Amino acid sequence: MSINFKKSCCLRVGKRCNATCTNITSLKGQHLPWVSEIKYLGVHVVRSKVFKCNIRDAKRSFYRSANEIFGKIGRFAPENVTLQLIQSKCMPALLYGLDACPLNKSDITSLDFVVNQFFMKLFFTSDINIVSECQQMFNFRLPSEQLAQRKDRFISRLHCV
């Protein structure tokens, strides 16, 4: 099997993640570069002492999708239609691949903030209490709730096997 040196790279995860490594070279003299972040199947893995993922691009995808929806429908569509579009188009972009990533509390809070900020824009408010009430009224679950539910469902399926 041949390696595509244009698309391949190396990344270290572990105690010695910052140690300088020698280049991996093919018989033809091609080098595999050492990088600090790679994208594999849509998940951005970061060089670190522990396995860690970068959620910056997931948040960027959410913002891009949400702004596209706002650009197409503007403020003319009812809130429930806008929220259904956000739920079906933007939330999958935000949550894609995060089941495989070990997220800490600040990462999960950051994901929730992205959604809360969208609600603030949609309902013209900066009060988090109003945002929470709107989320309950429209039965909209935050990323932290959705990720916890996915994790529980996964673990319960493991016990059934």
Q: What confidence tens digit (pLDDT) does each residue in 1-19 have?
A: 778 888 888 888 888 878 8
Confirm if 47 and 37 have CB atoms less than 8 A apart.
yes
Angle at 136 between CA 112 and CA 113, to 5 degrees: 15
The domain spans of the chain are: 1-54, 55-160
Q: How far apart, in Å, are the Cα atoms of 44 and each of 37, 49, 99, 133, 155?
A: 7, 15, 13, 33, 24
pLDDT by residue for the chain (161 residues), tens digit each? 778 888 888 888 888 878 888 888 888 888 888 888 888 888 888 888 888 888 999 999 999 999 999 888 877 888 899 999 999 999 999 999 888 888 899 999 999 999 999 999 999 999 999 999 999 999 999 999 999 888 888 888 877 76
Q: Which residues contact 118 (CB under 8 A, 6 or more apart)?
A: 62, 66, 86, 90
121's tokens: 């824009």
User: What is the pTM (predicted TM-score) of this model?
Assistant: 0.81
